[in-house]
Structure 1
Amino acid sequence: MNLLIGSYIGMVVDIEISGDKKHLGTVIDIGSDLIVICTNNKYLYIPITHIQRIELSPNQSDQSLPPSQSLLKNKEQISFPQMLNHAKGGFVEIFVTGNQSLYGFIINVLDDYLVFDSLGYKTILIPLYHLKWLSPCPPNGQGTPVQPSGSVLSRTLEEQLKRSEGKIVILDMGSSANKIGLMKKIENRVMELEMFNGKKVYWNLHHIKTVQFPE
């Protein structure tokens, strides 16, 4: 547990995370790299690395907690990697970038990225360091996750992308025109992307938040 904020368990806090996003909720648990809060009748698992500010709320009125949707077993010490692995196969809400969450299933968790089967967007590769928060959703007939193909996934995102050189790729959900094109080459964590008009753009993989390959 992070001892500096460990005393906040059971208290209502105001949290600001990367991307100018704010949450007000009751602290349920704290690990060395993760905090769990209950807000708006759901549980949020937030990596501490994305928390820019946390402080006690002046309003400490009790709130009723929804039924537990714990991703942890046997009261174990919580951690970000454990939480992700326990979440595999379950229907979850995640937030990475932009103004909306993604809903779907975590298919696999690798060294520095995860494979996400998203409702509406199909398969997305998401670097772990860009996952801002995750919330387990109650099962309400959302379907089942796609079964992983027989191909073996690379342990790192860079190596996985190298295997797809020469394919059309969509970066960051296509948030701008220069994030959609032909992925020509990956080298030293830099992607060479060729636009459909022939223009080339070079992207630092560290700043790419999502990767999709249209079928």
Structure 2
Amino acid sequence: MKYRHPLLDQYVELNISGKSLPIQGKMIDMGQDILVIHNGLQFLYIPLIHLQQLRTVKQEGEDLVIPEFPFEQQSEPISYRKILMNAKGMFSELYITGNQTIHGYLTSVMNDFFVFYSPVYHTIIVSLQHLKYLIPYNPNVTPYTLSPAQFPLKPSPMTLARTFDQQLRKLIGEFVILDLGENPNKIGVLKGIEQNMIELSTAGGSSVFLHFDHVKTVHLP
């Protein structure tokens, strides 16, 4: 039997990690590790690991008209992994870090990471524990209104490992960009991974060490 949260079908405001402004909308569904909000325009799928606060708010004006769910409704509870599997091949928006979102297509879901293909960043490896929310778009919407010929959905050129750690080890010796390049010290040649510390050789040739658990995304330029 599905658990029914007391705030289900109510208007809520929530704070999530890494985002300064709260999210508001109608709470549509909740599973053991993910919740669904409709903000009047879009469905937001938010992993609960990043939920800091959730509270009711007074709705001004008319009640929201909730469109059809982007994914087929199931009788069993929703879960983070099921949502990711359902989102494969759908044009989606991700929020992971900083002040920007990523637009593109989710192509593969592995044990603790997934692969996302973007017209801006191309193939991105995203740690499951760092996705803040996912917004699936309508089937007739494409990134930047690009045609399929301009932006074909291509499989990842890299061989995929089962885990994020193994995937990063496959990239040792490669020039990589971590966390979308928000910090110049997260761009460089991946020299090695030892005891959960990642060593990068930066533009000036010096070594920078980063803890593995704080790496959110990896992509090749």
Amino acid at match of 1:153: L
1:39-58 aligned within 5 A: 39-58=39-58
SS at match of 2:6: helix
1:89 to partner: Cα distance: 0.9
Cα distance in 2, alignment partners of residues 204 and 21 from structure 1: 27
Q: Deviations over 1:81-124 (max 9, x none)?
A: 11111111111111000112111101111111111001211111
SS at match of 1:78: coil
SS at match of 2:168: helix
Identity %: 35
SS at match of 1:7: coil
1:112-131 aligned within 5 A: 112-131=112-131
2:163 maps to what in 1? 156
1:14 maps to what in 2? 13
| Contact 1:69–1:136 (8 Å) recurs in 2 | no
Cα distance in 2, alignment partners of residues 173 and 57 from structure 1: 34
Q: Deviations over 1:30-84 (max 9, x none)?
A: 1111110100411001111111000000336543334223324433310111111
Are the structure 2 counterparts of residues 131 and 146 from structure 1 closer, same or farther at C-alpha, using a change threshold of 3 Å?
same
1:166 maps to what in 2? 173
| Contact 2:91–2:142 (8 Å) recurs in 1 | no
TM-score normalised per structure 1: 0.91
Unpaired stretches in structure 1, ≥5 consecutive residues: none
TM-score normalised per structure 2: 0.89
Cα distance in 2, alignment partners of residues 21 and 65 from structure 1: 24
Q: Which is worse superposed, 180-189 or 137-146?
A: 137-146
1:7 to partner: Cα distance: 1.3
Cα distance in 1, alignment partners of residues 16 and 58 from structure 2: 19
1:78 maps to what in 2? 78
2:69 maps to what in 1? 69
| Contact 1:102–1:119 (8 Å) recurs in 2 | no
Cα distance in 1, alignment partners of residues 142 and 17 from structure 2: 32
Amino acid at match of 1:160: Q
1:101-120 aligned within 5 A: 101-120=101-120
Amino acid at match of 2:208: V
Amino acid at match of 2:200: L
- Counterpart pick for 1:183 among 169, 186, 190: 190
Unpaired stretches in structure 2, ≥5 consecutive residues: none
2:141 maps to what in 1? 140
Q: Deviations over 1:177-208 (max 9, x none)?
A: 21111111122322110112221011111101
Amino acid at match of 2:195: N
2:88 maps to what in 1? 88
Cα distance in 1, alignment partners of residues 52 and 86 from structure 2: 26
